Structure formats: structure tokens, C-alpha cells
């Protein structure tokens, strides 16, 4: 057994070693606190990369949701019963478009058609996503729904409208607004931070 004095000396040595360790840790913390710019810069570099990756992800999510919305609305079709006038369309040529366009995702065809309206007038026009190359040589009954910007909106008699698909597309488009707002706020904050 150790004597009482030996045990006290051993405990005193352990205490001094512990105090020396704590003093060394305090000195390291004080040195790090004396140069706060080094710690902030290292944190900003990592967070800038994460922020950029998050922003890119949010922008991509917004674009995918907008594209899906446009695709669903395009696939919904138009109602032939709403036509102002009707006629027979003869499809001349078609060109394939896609996979990602201003009409959404997927492949669709832009066709040149000659339409003989029931009132006797003849019109030749390009129609997007209404006809396919399978319609070349066949007469297709169509209705004129009016003008949109520079193109004529057409509806096929043999294709029923699907308004529920339009509503789903509009809902998906509304969902695209949420990450779009987040992306705008992040970009605004990044630009405001850089001006300082």
C-alpha cells in the first residue's frame, strides 16, 4: 500500500496535469477567437457551395414542375364543341419535336396541314401537337377555336377533351410557384449580400 503522502503527491500531480491540459485548451480557444476572420471564411466557403447546390436544385425543381405542367395541359386536348367553324384537314408533312421544348416534355409533331373549311375557304398552316405523321393522307375533322398569338388553335373531332388533365396541369404549375419563390428569395439574398 502507498502511504498517505504518496497518494496525496500522486493526486496533486494528476490535478496539475489536468490543469495544464485545460490551460492549453483555453489558449487554443483564445488564439482562435483572436482571429475570427479565419473561422468565418472557412464557414462561408462551405456554406457557399451548399447554398449554390441548393439553389441549383431549387431552380431545376421549378423548371421540371413547369415543364410537367405545360405537358399535362398540352395532353389535355381541346374541346371540338367550342369550335367557331369546322372543316376537313389534310396533313401534308410532319416534323418531330422534343424531347424538351416550350410545349413541355416528350415528343410531339409539328405538321403542315391544308384545311378546307365547311364555308369553302381553304387555309394552309402549321399546327403544333394536334396531328401526327400517322394522319398523313387521311382526312381529319377539325374545329377552329380562334387565334392564340400568331397561331390558330385547332381541336380534333376524334380526340375528346380531358379537362381533368388540365386541372392537374394547373395544380402542378401552382406547385412550381413555391420553389420558384424560394429561388427568387435566395438569389435576392445572395445579390444583397454581395453588395455589402
Domain ranges of the chain: 1-25, 36-73+168-195, 78-161
d(CA 145, CA 195): 51
**pLDDT value, residue 193:** 67
pLDDT of residue 110: 92
Q: Which residues pair with 94 in a beta bridge?
A: 111
Query: Higher-confidence residue: 179 or 195?
Result: 179
Give the residue, 48 or 127, on which the prediction is more confident: 127
Please determine, for residue 91, whether its predicted confidence score (pLDDT) is greater than 70. Answer: yes
Q: Is the pLDDT of residue 45 over 80?
A: no
Percent of all residues in the chain with a pLDDT value above 90, rounded to a whole number: 50
| Mean pLDDT, range 65-92, rounded to an integer | 93
What local confidence, expressed as pLDDT, does residue 77 receive? Answer: 86
Q: Please report the pLDDT score of residue 1 as a whole number.
A: 54
pLDDT recorded at residue 131: 92
**Mean pLDDT across the stretch 147-156?**
86
CA–CA separation, 60 and 191 (whole Å): 20
What would the mean pLDDT of 58-63 be, rounded to a whole number? 94
Which pLDDT does position 32 carry in this prediction?
72
Handedness of CA 23, 28, 32, 34 (dihedral sign): positive
Q: What is the mean pLDDT of residues 96-121?
A: 92
Percent of the chain with pLDDT over 70: 90
Q: How far apart are CA 80 and CA 154, in angstroms?
A: 8
> What sign results for the dihedral spanned by CA atoms 64, 70, 74, 79?
positive
Tell which residue, 85, 78, 139, has the closest CA to residue 114.
139
Worst-scoring range by mean pLDDT, 30-34, 63-67, 121-125, 127-131?
30-34
Dist. CA 129–CA 109, nearest whole Å: 5
Q: How confident is residue 151, by pLDDT bands cut at 50, 70 and 90? A: confident
Q: Residue 28: its pLDDT value, please?
A: 83
Residues 113-128 have a mean pLDDT of 92
Is the pTM value of this prediction over 0.85? no
CA atoms in the 13 A half-sphere facing the CB of 35: 8
Amino acid at each position: 500500500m502507498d502511504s498517505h503522502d504518496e497518494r496525496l503527491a500522486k493526486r496533486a500531480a494528476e490535478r496539475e496535469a489536468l490543469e495544464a491540459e485545460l490551460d492549453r485548451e483555453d489558449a487554443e480557444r483564445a488564439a482562435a477567437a483572436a482571429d475570427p476572420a479565419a473561422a468565418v471564411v472557412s464557414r462561408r466557403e462551405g456554406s457557399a457551395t451548399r447554398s449554390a447546390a441548393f439553389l441549383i436544385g431549387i431552380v431545376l425543381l421549378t423548371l421540371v414542375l413547369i415543364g410537367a405542367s405545360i405537358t399535362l395541359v398540352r395532353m389535355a386536348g381541346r374541346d371540338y364543341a367550342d369550335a367557331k367553324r369546322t372543316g376537313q384537314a389534310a396533313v401534308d408533312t410532319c416534323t418531330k419535336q422534343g424531347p424538351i421544348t416550350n410545349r413541355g416534355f416528350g415528343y410531339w409533331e409539328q405538321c403542315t396541314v391544308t384545311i378546307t373549311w365547311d364555308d369553302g375557304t381553304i387555309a394552309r398552316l402549321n399546327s403544333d401537337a394536334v396531328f401526327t405523321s400517322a394522319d398523313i393522307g387521311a382526312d381529319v375533322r377539325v374545329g377552329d377555336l380562334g387565334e392564340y398569338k400568331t397561331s390558330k388553335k385547332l381541336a380534333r373531332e376524334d380526340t375528346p377533351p380531358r379537362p381533368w388533365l388540365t386541372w392537374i396541369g394547373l395544380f402542378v404549375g401552382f406547385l412550381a410557384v413555391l420553389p420558384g419563390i424560394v429561388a427568387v428569395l435566395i438569389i435576392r439574398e445572395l445579390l444583397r449580400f454581395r453588395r455589402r
